[in-house]
Each structure stands twice: as C-alpha cells, then as structure tokens.
Amino acid sequence: MIQLCLLGSTGSIGQQTLQVVKEHPDKIQIKVLTAQKNAKLLIEQAIQFLPEYVVIVDENFYLEVKDALKDYPIEVLTGKPALNEVVTLPEITHVLTALVGFAGLEPTISAINHQKKIALANKETLVVAGELINYLLQKNQVELIPVDSEHSAIYQCLIGEKPNEIHKIYLTASGGPFRTFQYEQLLNITPAQALQHPNWSMGNKITIDSATLMNKGLEVIEAKWLFHLNNEQIEVVVHPQSIIHSMVEFVDGSIKAQLGLPNMKIPIQFALSFPERWVNNSYKKWDFVSHSQLTFEKPNLKLFPCLELAYYCLNKGGNSSCVLNAANEIAVEKFLNHQISFLDIPKTIEKVIKTVEFISYPTLNDLFETDKIARKFALEYA
C-alpha cells in the first residue's frame, strides 16, 4: 500500500491525482494533503480522504481549516516550514510534488533527504537546481519518476535501454492556442484567450507557459537533468494533435514513441505504480482509425522567443535557469493580472536574464538569493 503525501492537492495535478487514488483505493492511501490557500477545496478533500495531516500554507486560512476539521482525526498545520516537515513523516512512502513554481524545491529536497520515492510534477525543481537534485538522488539512493506527460513518455521509452545508446530525444509540443497566429494577432492577446489550451486541462500558470512555449523550454532543461543528456540531444517538435507525447531516437536510427490521448491521469498513475502498470478501464482509449493524421512542424522561435531563451539559459548554465524561472513566474502573474501584454512576457524575462549577476557554480543559498533578486527585477521591469 502506497502511503502518499500529496503536495498541492487543490491544483489541477493534485485533483487529478486524487481521482487516481479513488480509482485504486486498495493501492494508495492518502496520508498528507497540502494547499496554498484554497481552504474550501482542501477541507472537502480532507473530509473525503481523511489524511493524518493537512497543511494550509497561507496562515490567514489556518483557523478556517482547523475549525472545519475539528471533529475529524486530522492534524492541521500551517506555514511554509510545515511542507518541509510533513514529507519527512516515517510512514510516508511516496511524495507527489504538484506545487507550482519555485515553491516545490525545498519540500522536494527534504523528501529526497528522507529517502521518499518522488513523483515529480514540479518541473521547476529540476530547472532551478537540476545538478543538486541529481546529486541528492544518488546520495540518498532515491528514485524519481516524472509526472509531466512528455518526460513520462521519455522515461517509458527508455525502460530496458542503455543510456549510451540514446542519440536524441524529441519533446513534442502542441504549439498552444496561438500556433497559427501572425505577430499582429499576438499584440492584443488577453489572459482569457491564452488560457484556452487546445488539448490539455491544466492550471493557469502552466497553461500560459504553454501558450508562450516557455513550458516546453522548462521541459528541455528538466529533460537534461532527468535523463543525463547533452544539450544538443534535446529537440522540440510541434505536434498539434498531442497524441505522441515524446520520442527517443537511438544510435541505430530506430525511434520509440509513447502515444495516447491527452490525459494527465495516465502519467500520474504510471509515476505511482511503476514498476507495475495498473489496470484502469475508466480512461478513454486511443483509436487509430478515428485519428488518422499526425503532423509535425518546427517551433516558431521568432513568434515565441521564450523557448529560445530557455535554450540560451540551458547552454549558459550556472544560475541562469533559476533567473529564467523566477522572471517567468512574475511575468506570467503580471500578464494574468492584466498588468503587461502577452508579448511583454519574453521581453521581461530577457531583461532580467541580462541584469542578474551570473554565478557559474551556485550553491543552494545562491539559488534562493538568485530567485529573490530575479523576482525583484521582474517586478520592476513589468
């Protein structure tokens, strides 16, 4: 029986994870649920799944959650430090990190240091501190399984293969809602338009990242650390149908691809069940006849420069990806609040990258300071 700590239970990935749990009650038990400030949904989830602990990070909602759960055998905690504490509970076997952004880094590190199996849906952890995370995984002999559909696809394609036989990996991208737009059409994009992803149902931040192609840029950086690749071994291909989730090309020229209908519950379930595959008949299955055309094209870096910025930071190394991530989080937030335009997102990020001091070999403290400084500059520029 998996004893699961679910970090970020009220977000899109968190809610879908709980659907997987409901479909496999004999295999997974919820021990911890956490949320930033969605107290209402956290309370509902806690009453349904009866975890031992819940964490409401925003202290303003602590009394509301505590009062609502006073008649249940659930301990209510609050504050950011509580996230780092709950992942260390001895009964926890698995930690699924579904927190958004930089906030996922510290609790993931804490979970690794306490030798929990990690299901990672927080790509920013590896974007910001990939080298450090890999060191800690090796040191603590901890297994990390990616939850992102693209990285789950690569992971599945590599089972049984030798790392030195990989020639290249292809991360597929839908291209987002504006794939066919011209520059003039992007000038007046609204948040409501950008949140209409053609294939996937996701949280606001990742949906905007998909529209700018920054999500794919972050995935490129994440893939380097997940699969121990050279930068030139990672290529992005736009695949509008989102049926092929990613591919691996081997040194002999053969290619493996992982296919399926867009459904995040499948990679979530895989990350929790591996090395097994659990039967599930509630997900709609792929039908080749109904989907007779799969197309591919190059990403348009001129219209969507965020992907190019990510490659730049990947090649530069050091604390560059940390700067990229922090600036992007602020820029996306500003866009969602109607404070900057869609095209200002990459402009803001580029300015911050050029401004923040470069550190070749950052420590964890350097990364926290870099994140803080980059956010400050992004707020000023935006």
Pinpoint the alpha helices (H) of the chain: 12-23, 39-49, 62-68, 80-86, 105-113, 124-140, 149-158, 183-186, 191-194, 204-212, 214-227, 265-273, 306-316, 320-336, 344-355, 364-381
Supply the pLDDT for residue 282: 81
- Confidence (pTM): 0.93
Supply the pLDDT for residue 291: 74
- The closest alpha carbon to 157, from 172, 136, 139, 143, belongs to 172
Query: Dihedral, CA atoms, 344, 346, 351, 355, nearest 10 degrees?
Result: 140
How many alpha carbons lie under 13 Å from residue 15 in its C-beta half-sphere? 11
Question: For residues 121 and 85, what is the distance between their CA atoms, to the nearest angstrom?
Answer: 19
Average pLDDT of the residues of the chain: 95
191: its two tokens: 């948040």
pLDDT-based confidence at residue 200 (cuts at 50, 70, 90): low
Query: Dihedral, CA atoms, 179, 185, 187, 193, nearest 10 degrees?
Result: -60
- pLDDT of 368 strictly over 90: yes
Question: For residues 216 and 86, what is the distance between their CA atoms, to the nearest angstrom?
Answer: 31
120: its two tokens: 């990672």
Burial 214-245 (b: 16+ CB within 10 A, else e): bbbbbbbbbbbbbbebeeebbebbbbbbbbbb
- pLDDT of 382 strictly over 70: no
Thinking of the domain 2-146, which architecture would CATH place it in? 3-Layer(aba) Sandwich (3.40)
72: its two tokens: 């249940």
Residue that the structure tokens 């060191």 belong to = 135
Percent of the chain scored above 70 by pLDDT?
Answer: 99
**How many residues are there in the chain?**
382
Tell me the domain boundaries of the chain.
2-146, 151-263+301-312, 317-382
pLDDT tens per residue across span 352-367: 999 999 999 999 999 9
Strand order in the sheet with 234-238: 234-238, 166-173, 244-250, 255-259
- The closest alpha carbon to 87, from 2, 6, 29, belongs to 6
Question: For residues 41 and 11, what is the distance between their CA atoms, to the nearest angstrom?
Answer: 10
How many alpha carbons lie under 13 Å from residue 348 in its C-beta half-sphere? 29
pLDDT tens per residue across span 153-186: 999 999 999 999 999 999 999 998 999 999 999 9
33 within 8 A of 57, measured Cβ to Cβ: no
Supply the pLDDT for residue 284: 81
Domain boundaries 317-382, corresponding CATH code? 1.10.1740.10
